[in-house]
């Protein structure tokens, strides 16, 4: 027990940690039970999962979607046994999010003081994006869980020196398997592998060095097999262009001032997304301070936590892994450990009269995340993105034989998922074109609907192009072509009924 922790007993800190884990579970379960509609990316992945066999899941997925084959196999097994509803699709991310809380506590306790680990656990438990992706049918929640599992296995190798070979063998087998369940697992394994190598060389444990070839061989073999059976098939020049347009690839080497600015922008950017910190500069300061403290006390653990994000950065420079938002969720556990360690250090170092200032800054770091999760807990509908399910249900209740249906581009995957379940599986529709840069294409499509007295126009997954709202643009054109008869709107989705038979 350090001097800074003396105002609370060890049992009291552990009680607080238990309460935080309970809070974290509650924050992940409530949005899951709220059961928001599948949004575009979830629906596209679900469509491919439901339509394909296990062997077909090794190939290309629909709509250019990508997901680790292990994740897909487990999800497919759940669907075959329990049905294809949203609760079943999102069950694996939820379980991963809950298990992550326990794994995080195990990792943090081996690296930080009891107070620091509790602070870090609090940050992790209320992390906005970790909560959201625990009820999202994508593999990002399991990415974070798997990263934590790898860290924990690596730390056990160092902690239990007498059982190093046995622990290393467990890590070797687990790592070779986990590569198939998480794309960024390879970064975490590489970081842990290098940390263990440095540990053995620095401590002159020569008898262990040769054994390190065991995990290297297992992981490399598993990665190569995974790459050539699944990953290489999923890569496309279109995907690279799309991510390049979002600035998700590190300029390597930088060739302009704009390229150079990419580095500080993305350094602070990760603290907002996926870190979830409103005050990115303050979070970055605590992160750097925590990194320095952990490096001075737990150097090999520091390597394990920092090297994975550096490998991901390098991979982005090779245009192999986008350095962006949700794809970096696997790094959030390490981020929270460093930030928690930094906050703990600030509290320990602070002395009157400046103590109140430093403590206030730490409270400020927590204030916005606490406010956000409080709103999410009291009103989980705040996490809704594209509530297309009630829109499709409304259409099902009011659709008449002979009606026409136009689906705005981006709404088709989720519409198809819910149409099958809400009595609309046999109707015909017109799929709108994707033409974000040339909206004249939309005008021509809408004009082609003239002559019908009941035309439904369904929107979801809106975009805003050069300050012009897409939905308003469509409605403006439609109002010039006919008369709006009916409408229904939900969060991020809407449907309108138009009479276009009077137009020439």
Structure tokens at 223: 């990665």
Q: What's the confidence (pLDDT) of residue 136?
A: 96
SS (H, E, C) 341-392: HHHHHHHHHCCCCCHHHHHHHHHHHHHHHHHHHHHHHHCHHHHCCCCHHHHH
- Residues of the chain short of pLDDT 70, as ranges, are 1-7, 231-241, 245, 350-355, 358, 464-467, 502-504
Q: What's the confidence (pLDDT) of residue 271?
A: 95
CB-based contact 182:327 (threshold 8 Å): no
C-alpha distance from residue 385 to each of 275, 381, 462 (Å): 20, 9, 10
Question: Is residue 255 exposed (0-12), middle (13-18) or buried (19+ Cβ within 10 Å)?
Answer: exposed
- What digits encode the pLDDT tens for the residues 445-475? 999 999 888 999 999 987 766 567 888 899 9
Q: Distance between terminal CA atoms of the chain?
A: 83
C-alpha distance from residue 298 to each of 118, 148, 163, 208 (Å): 18, 17, 20, 20
Question: Is residue 308 exposed (0-12), middle (13-18) or buried (19+ Cβ within 10 Å)?
Answer: buried
Other C-beta atoms lying within 10 Å of the C-beta of residue 285: 17
Tell me the C-alpha distance between 154 and 159, whole Å: 9
- Of 181, 224, 328, which Cα lies nearest the Cα of 266? 328
Tell me the C-alpha distance between 111 and 447, whole Å: 64
* Main-chain phi, psi angles of 246, to 5 degrees: -95, 5
Residues 6+ away with beta carbon under 8 Å from 187: 307, 308, 309, 311, 312, 315, 330
* Main-chain phi, psi angles of 461, to 5 degrees: 55, 60
Q: What is the CA radius of gyration of the chain?
A: 25
Structure tokens at 455: 């035309």
Q: Which residue has the tokens 């989980």?
A: 380
CB-based contact 15:121 (threshold 8 Å): no
Q: What's the confidence (pLDDT) of residue 239?
A: 67
- What digits encode the pLDDT tens for the residues 7-20? 678 889 999 999 99
CB-based contact 271:287 (threshold 8 Å): yes
Q: What's the confidence (pLDDT) of residue 142?
A: 97
- Of 383, 290, 432, which Cα lies nearest the Cα of 27? 383
């Amino acid at each position: 027990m350090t001097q800074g922790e003396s105002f609370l007993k060890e049992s009291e800190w552990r009680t607080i940690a238990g309460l935080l884990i309970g809070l974290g579970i509650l924050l992940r379960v409530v949005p899951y039970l709220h059961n928001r509609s599948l949004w575009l990316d979830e629906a596209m992945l679900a469509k491919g999962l439901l339509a394909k066999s296990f062997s077909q899941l090794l190939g290309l997925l629909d709509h250019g979607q990508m997901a680790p084959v292990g994740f897909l196999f487990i999800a497919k097994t759940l669907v075959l046994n329990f049905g294809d509803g949203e609760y079943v699709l999102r069950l694996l991310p939820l379980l991963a999010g809950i298990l992550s809380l326990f794994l995080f506590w195990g990792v943090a306790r081996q690296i930080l003081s009891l107070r620091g680990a509790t602070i870090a656990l609090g940050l992790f438990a209320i992390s906005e994006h970790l909560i959201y992706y625990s009820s999202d049918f994508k593999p990002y929640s399991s990415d974070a869980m798997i990263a934590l599992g790898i860290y924990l296995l690596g730390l056990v190798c160092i902690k239990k020196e007498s059982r190093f070979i046995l622990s290393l063998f467990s890590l070797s087998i687990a790592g070779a398997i986990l590569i198939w369940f998480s794309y960024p697992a390879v970064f975490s394994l590489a970081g842990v592998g290098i940390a263990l190598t440095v540990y053995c060389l620095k401590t002159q444990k020569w008898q262990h060095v040769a054994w390190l070839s065991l995990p290297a061989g297992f992981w490399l073999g598993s990665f190569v097999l995974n790459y050539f059976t699944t990953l290489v098939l999923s890569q496309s020049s279109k995907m690279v262009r799309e991510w390049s347009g979002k600035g998700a690839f590190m300029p390597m080497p930088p060739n302009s001032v704009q390229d150079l600015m990419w580095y500080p922008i993305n350094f602070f950017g990760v603290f907002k997304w996926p870190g979830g910190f409103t005050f990115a500069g303050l979070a970055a300061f605590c992160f750097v301070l925590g990194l320095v403290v952990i490096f001075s006390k737990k150097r090999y653990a520091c390597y394990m936590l920092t090297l994975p994000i550096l490998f991901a950065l390098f991979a982005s420079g090779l245009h192999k892994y986008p350095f962006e938002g949700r794809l970096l969720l696997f790094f959030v556990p390490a981020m929270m450990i460093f930030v928690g360690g930094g906050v703990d250090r600030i509290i320990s170092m602070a002395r009157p009269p400046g103590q109140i200032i430093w403590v206030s800054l730490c409270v400020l770091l927590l204030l916005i995340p606490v406010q956000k999760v409080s709103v999410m807990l009291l009103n989980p509908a705040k996490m809704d993105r594209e509530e297309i399910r009630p829109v499709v249900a409304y259409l099902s209740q009011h659709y008449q034989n002979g009606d026409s249906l136009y689906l705005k581009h981006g709404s088709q995957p989720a519409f198809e998922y819910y149409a099958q379940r809400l009595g609309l599986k046999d109707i015909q529709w017109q799929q709108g074109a994707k033409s974000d840069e040339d909206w004249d294409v939309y005008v021509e499509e809408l004009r082609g609907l003239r002559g019908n007295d009941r035309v439904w126009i369904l929107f979801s997954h809106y975009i805003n192009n050069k300050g012009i709202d897409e939905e308003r643009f469509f409605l403006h054109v439609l109002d010039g072509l006919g008369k709006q008869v009916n409408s229904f709107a939900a969060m991020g989705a809407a449907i309108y009924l138009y009479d276009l038979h009077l137009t020439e």
